[in-house]
């Protein structure tokens, strides 16, 4: 009986926390359903809910195009990141190449804020003709997220029983074949988690995207949405609708992949 009471208290303590974390999301939904007259009345829910903001937002700006750019750039850069990070993480851990030095340098490179790389990367893209292209963003994100992927993959690789790899080596498999055919299938959940996390990081990125893209054909969603702030639209209802449209893809991923995500983040965080 005492334990049930305690649970009730703990549940009551959790309620405001959940409420706080749900509030901005619910308010975005509410605002997106408000008419222009309702939008700034200080109330939470609209008096007369209307879906009019949604088609209007998609008409006012190329939202679908922005979402498409974001999805393409983030998926491709996620692939680039995993391709770059996985062999190296494996080599550092199992083949003793690079050693502690490489993992230290990789991780400390993540400490500098991205603003440090902004100007040099601008010139790099300009020289290579990749400024204002999706390929340019794929390259930058693909490289920039390598430390994160390296860090997240490491614990999954470390927990992999070495005997399986030794058995594969005895059967004459080279290290690369071992990695591809033995290790990758076993740590697939870790790779999936890492892929989702770096992809979401790219999807959400704003600083580089705002400096390296400046046409509707290349702009990613956060940049497109940030333009709603400017002259094009001051319609809060449409801004909320557009924001929700942009959040939807990541929330869908979070919903279906949450188990991978929580374990990926948790294992990566605590060595």
Q: Which of residues 209-228 bind another protein (CB under 8 A)?
A: 210-211, 221-222, 225-226, 228
Q: Work out the burial of residue 150: count CB atoms within 10 Å of its CB; fewer than 13 is exposed, 13-18 middle, 19 or more buried.
A: buried
Q: Show Cβ contacts of residue 108 under 8 Å, excluding neighbours closer than 6 positions.
A: none
Taken in order 111, 115, 119, 122, the sign of the CA dihedral is positive
The nearest distance, CB 166 to another protein, in angstroms, is 18
Q: Which stretch binds another protein (CB under 8 A): 46-54, 100-108, 130-138, 158-166?
A: 100-108
Q: Which stretch binds another protein (CB under 8 A): 61-69, 130-138, 183-191, 253-261?
A: 253-261
Cα–Cα distance, 232 to 62 (Å, whole number)? 12
Between 113 and 172, CB nearer to another protein = 113
Which positions from 165 through 184 interact with another protein, judged by CB under 8 A?
Answer: 175
Which positions from 69 through 98 interact with another protein, judged by CB under 8 A?
Answer: 83-85, 87-88, 90-92, 95, 97-98
193 binds another protein (CB under 8 A): no
Which positions from 5 through 64 interact with another protein, judged by CB under 8 A?
Answer: 7, 10-11, 13-14, 17-18, 20-25, 27-28, 31, 39-44
Please choose, from the candidates 132, 189, 196, 122, the residue with its C-alpha nearest in 3D space to the C-alpha of residue 159. 189
Cα–Cα distance, 218 to 85 (Å, whole number)? 26
Cβ–Cβ < 8 Å for 168, 182? yes
The nearest distance, CB 163 to another protein, in angstroms, is 22
- Name the residue with tokens 């290579």: 128
Cβ–Cβ < 8 Å for 63, 245? yes
Strand, coil or helix: what is 48? coil
Q: Which stretch binds another protein (CB under 8 A): 51-59, 109-117, 158-166, 185-193?
A: 109-117
The nearest distance, CB 123 to another protein, in angstroms, is 6
């Amino acid at each position: 009986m005492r334990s049930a009471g305690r649970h009730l208290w703990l549940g009551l303590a959790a309620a405001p926390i959940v409420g706080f974390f749900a509030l901005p999301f619910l308010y975005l939904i509410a605002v997106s359903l408000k008419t222009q007259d309702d939008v700034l009345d200080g109330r939470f829910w609209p008096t007369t809910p209307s879906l009019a903001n949604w088609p209007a937002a998609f008409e006012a700006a190329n939202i679908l195009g922005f979402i498409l750019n974001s999805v393409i750039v983030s998926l491709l850069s996620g692939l680039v990141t995993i391709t770059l990070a996985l062999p190296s993480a494996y080599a550092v851990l199992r083949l003793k190449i690079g050693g502690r030095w490489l993992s230290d340098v990789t991780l400390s490179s993540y400490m500098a804020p991205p603003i440090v790389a902004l100007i040099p990367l601008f010139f790099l893209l300009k020289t290579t003709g990749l400024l204002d292209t999706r390929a340019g963003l794929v390259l930058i994100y693909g490289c920039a997220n390598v430390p994160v992927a390296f860090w997240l993959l490491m614990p999954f690789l470390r927990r992999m029983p070495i005997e399986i790899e030794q058995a594969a080596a005895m059967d004459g498999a080279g290290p690369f074949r071992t990695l591809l055919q033995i290790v990758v299938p076993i740590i697939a959940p870790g790779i999936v988690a890492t892929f989702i996390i770096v992809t979401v990081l790219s999807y959400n990125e704003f600083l580089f995207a705002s400096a390296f893209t400046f046409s509707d054909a290349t702009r990613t969603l956060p940049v497109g949405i940030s333009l709603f702030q400017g002259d094009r639209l001051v319609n809060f209802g449409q801004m909320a609708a557009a924001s929700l449209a942009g959040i939807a893809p990541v929330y869908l991923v979070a919903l279906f992949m949450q188990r991978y995500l929580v374990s990926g983040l948790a294992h990566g965080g605590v060595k």
